[in-house]
């Protein structure tokens, strides 16, 4: 869905306070090396870049992360972060600060201390410099250089088909992919969303005119379950058995969030993971 990044802002203990003093903290993917005088945000970016580079090949320096909202503060984490791709698009990375020791697989039902979503805008494989032939300096007239830049393939960007107002929960039919335009400098604007998949289960944080491109900071994960509403909870694996029951949501939740629920008939408290609009999976 969330800046990767889109920051699809599903922060658990989101805070808008002033940043705490920098600390020295180890990173799980940095092989125990401590990053001195680095902020929690810088440390998180370092671990994400290393993780992406190991998964896709290439160098961490080539992994570019879309900036998150300046008002969102990344809190320190006492344990190595959990990283994964929660959506179909591999351009979104979910970052979670574990509340318990161990891996995600060992603690499937653990509630993280905090979580947020980053948008990866570039993660290109490294080409060894030795294999790249040395360029031959050839004088190029100004008009020819301009034409060469214009012929570069800047990729795709997502634009609004119509006026989209703040708070709108986006669907694929509201937007379309078009050829991206280069900046006057000849560079690609890396803040643009590049796939319609990136707006799935997301809502706008500002009005977007028809034909305007959507950027990572224009969207956040939509609230799919709201406090006090009746939601459909599914229990079971779908193969052996599956039970569906209506329950009441006791807190708001976005895609992938764990929320508290209540069975109106028995009064029993329950927990579930948000899987869609007014839909949860029982834990």
Share of the chain above pLDDT 70, in %: 74
What's the CATH code of the domain at 264?
A: 2.30.30.760
Range of the domain at 26: 1-126+155-221
Domain boundary among 197, 221, 245: 221
Please tell me which residue, 175 or 8, carries the higher pLDDT value: 175
Q: Per-residue confidence at 238, pLDDT binned at 50, 70, 90?
A: low
278 contacts 232 by C-beta, under 8 angstroms: yes
The verdict on residue 135 lying in a domain is no
Q: Are residues 95 and 235 in the same domain?
A: no
pLDDT of res. 248: 92
The verdict on residue 149 lying in a domain is no
How many C-beta neighbours within 10 Å does residue 246 have?
12
Q: Are residues 217 and 246 in the same domain?
A: no
Please tell me which residue, 281 or 20, carries the higher pLDDT value: 281
Q: Are residues 47 and 29 in the same domain?
A: yes
The verdict on residue 70 lying in a domain is yes
Report the distance separating Cα 234 and Cα 232, nearest Å: 7
Domain boundary among 194, 221, 248: 221
Q: Are residues 116 and 246 in the same domain?
A: no
Angle at CA of residue 219, ends 115 and 113, nearest 5°: 10
pLDDT of res. 142: 46
| 156: pLDDT strictly greater than 50 | yes
Q: What is the pLDDT of residues 163-179, one digit of tens each?
A: 989 888 888 889 988 88
Please tell me which residue, 262 or 9, carries the higher pLDDT value: 262
pLDDT of res. 65: 87
Q: Are residues 68 and 193 in the same domain?
A: yes
| 26: pLDDT strictly greater than 50 | no
Q: What is the pLDDT of residues 134-153, one digit of tens each?
A: 555 545 444 444 433 444 56
The verdict on residue 141 lying in a domain is no
Q: Are residues 169 and 54 in the same domain?
A: yes
Q: Are residues 211 and 272 in the same domain?
A: no
Q: Are residues 63 and 85 in the same domain?
A: yes
pLDDT of res. 154: 67
The verdict on residue 205 lying in a domain is yes
Number of structural domains in the chain: 2
The verdict on residue 150 lying in a domain is no
The verdict on residue 254 lying in a domain is yes
Residue holding tokens 């900046």? 183
Q: How far is CA 268 from the centre of its chain?
A: 34
Q: Are residues 45 and 118 in the same domain?
A: yes
| 206: pLDDT strictly greater than 60 | yes
Q: Are residues 103 and 235 in the same domain?
A: no
The verdict on residue 133 lying in a domain is no
How many C-beta neighbours within 10 Å does residue 249 have?
23
pLDDT of res. 201: 77
Q: Are residues 184 and 49 in the same domain?
A: yes
Share of the chain above pLDDT 90, in %: 5
Q: Are residues 274 and 169 in the same domain?
A: no
């Amino acid at each position: 869905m969330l800046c990767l990044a889109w920051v699809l802002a599903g922060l658990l203990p989101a805070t808008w306070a002033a940043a705490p003093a920098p600390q020295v903290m180890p990173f799980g993917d940095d092989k125990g090396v401590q990053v001195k005088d680095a902020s929690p945000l810088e440390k998180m970016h370092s671990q994400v870049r290393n993780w992406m580079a190991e998964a896709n090949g290439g160098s961490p320096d080539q992994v570019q992360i879309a900036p998150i909202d300046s008002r969102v503060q990344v809190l320190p984490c006492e344990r190595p972060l959990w990283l994964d791709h929660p959506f179909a698009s591999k351009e979104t990375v979910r970052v979670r600060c574990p509340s318990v020791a161990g891996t995600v697989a060992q603690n499937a039902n653990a509630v993280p201390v905090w979580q947020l979503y980053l948008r990866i805008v570039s993660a290109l494989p490294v080409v060894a410099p030795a294999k790249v032939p040395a360029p031959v300096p050839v004088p190029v007239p100004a008009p020819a250089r301009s034409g060469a830049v214009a012929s570069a393939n800047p990729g795709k960007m997502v634009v609004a088909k119509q006026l989209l107002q703040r708070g709108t929960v986006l669907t694929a039919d509201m937007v379309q992919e078009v050829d991206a335009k280069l900046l006057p400098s000849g560079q690609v604007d890396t803040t643009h969303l590049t796939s319609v998949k990136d707006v799935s289960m997301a809502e706008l944080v500002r009005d977007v005119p028809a034909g305007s491109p959507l950027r990572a900071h224009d969207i956040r994960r939509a609230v799919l379950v709201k406090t006090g509403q009746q939601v459909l909870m599914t229990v079971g694996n779908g193969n052996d058995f599956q039970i569906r029951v209506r329950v009441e949501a006791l807190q708001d939740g976005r895609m992938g969030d764990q929320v508290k629920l209540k069975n109106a008939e028995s009064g029993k408290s329950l927990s579930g993971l948000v899987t869609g609009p007014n839909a949860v999976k029982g834990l």
